[in-house]
Amino acid sequence: MKVKPADRTASVQEYYFSQKLRQIDQMRKSGIDIISLGIGSPDQPPSRNTIARLSEEAAKADAHGYQSYTGIPALRKAFAEWYKTFFRVELDPESEILPLMGSKEGIMHISMAFINPGDEVLVPDPGYPTYSSVTNLVGGKIKYFDLEEKNTWLPDLYRLDKMVDSGTKAMWINYPNMPTGAKASLRFYEDLVKFCMKHNILLINDNPYSFILNKDYVSILQVDGARDIAIELNSMSKSHNMAGWRIGMAASNREFIETILKVKSNMDSGMFRGLQVAAAEALKNPPSWYDEINETYRQRRKIVEEIMDILKCEFDRNQSGLFVWGRIPDNIRDCESFVDEILNQAYVFITPGFIFGRNGLRYIRISLCANEEILLKAKSRISDYLGNK
pLDDT digits (tens, 9 = 90+) for 55-73: 999 999 999 999 999 999 9
What phi, psi does 348 have (nearest 5°)? -125, 125
- The whole-number pLDDT of residue 18 equals 78
Q: How confident is the model at residue 180 (pLDDT cuts 50, 70, 90)?
A: very high
Q: What is the pLDDT of residue 214?
A: 96
pLDDT band per the 50, 70, 90 thresholds, residue 1: low
- Residue 100 neighbours by CB distance under 10 Å: 25
278-309 per-position pLDDT tens digit: 999 999 999 999 999 999 999 999 999 999 99
Overall fold of domain 7-45+288-387: Aspartate Aminotransferase, domain 1 (3.90.1150)
Which residues neighbour 61 within 8 Å (Cβ) at sequence distance 6 or greater?
none
Confidence at 209, pLDDT banded by 50, 70, 90: very high
Q: Can you tell me the mean pLDDT for 179-207?
A: 97
Of 23-27, 30-34, 317-321, which gets the smallest average pLDDT? 23-27
Instruction: Give DSSP secondary structure letters for 6-36.
Output: PGGGGG----HHHHHHHHHHHHHHTT--PEE
Task: Please check the confidence at residue 216 and state whether its pLDDT lies above 70.
Answer: yes
Cβ–Cβ < 8 Å for 364, 328: yes
**Alpha-carbon distance values, 223 to 154, 208, 356 (Å):** 17, 18, 28
Number of Cβ within 10 Å of residue 57's Cβ equals 18
**How does pLDDT run across 91-105, given as a tens digit for each residue?**
999 999 999 998 999
Query: What 3-state class would DSSP assign to 156?
Result: coil
pLDDT at 16: 77
Confidence class for position 389, pLDDT limits 50, 70, 90: low
pLDDT, residue 19, reads: 81
β partners of residue 58: none
Residue-range domain boundaries for the chain: 7-45+288-387, 62-282
User: How big is the chain by its Cα radius of gyration, in Å?
Assistant: 21
Enumerate residues 6+ apart whose C-beta is below 8 A from 25.
Answer: none
Hey, which CATH number is domain 62-282, 3.30.70.260, 3.40.50.12780, 3.30.460.10, 3.40.640.10? 3.40.640.10
Residue 10's pLDDT band (cuts 50, 70, 90): confident
The whole-number pLDDT of residue 5 equals 87
Mean pLDDT, the chain, whole residue set: 95
Helix (H, G, I), strand (E, B) or coil at 60: coil
Burial class (CB in 10 A: 0-12, 13-18, 19+), 286: exposed
Whether 118 has a pLDDT exceeding 80, the answer reads yes
Q: Provide the 8-state DSSP code for 47.
A: P
pLDDT single digits (tens) 234-260:
999 999 999 999 999 999 999 999 999
Q: Residue 130 — φ and ψ, nearest 5°?
A: -65, -30
Sheet of 168-173: strand order equals: 97-100, 248-251, 230-235, 202-206, 168-173, 120-125, 141-146
pTM for the structure as a whole: 0.94
- Tell me: the pLDDT tens digits for 119-153? 999 999 999 999 999 999 999 999 999 999 999 99
C-alpha triplet 121, 185, 236: angle, nearest 5°: 70
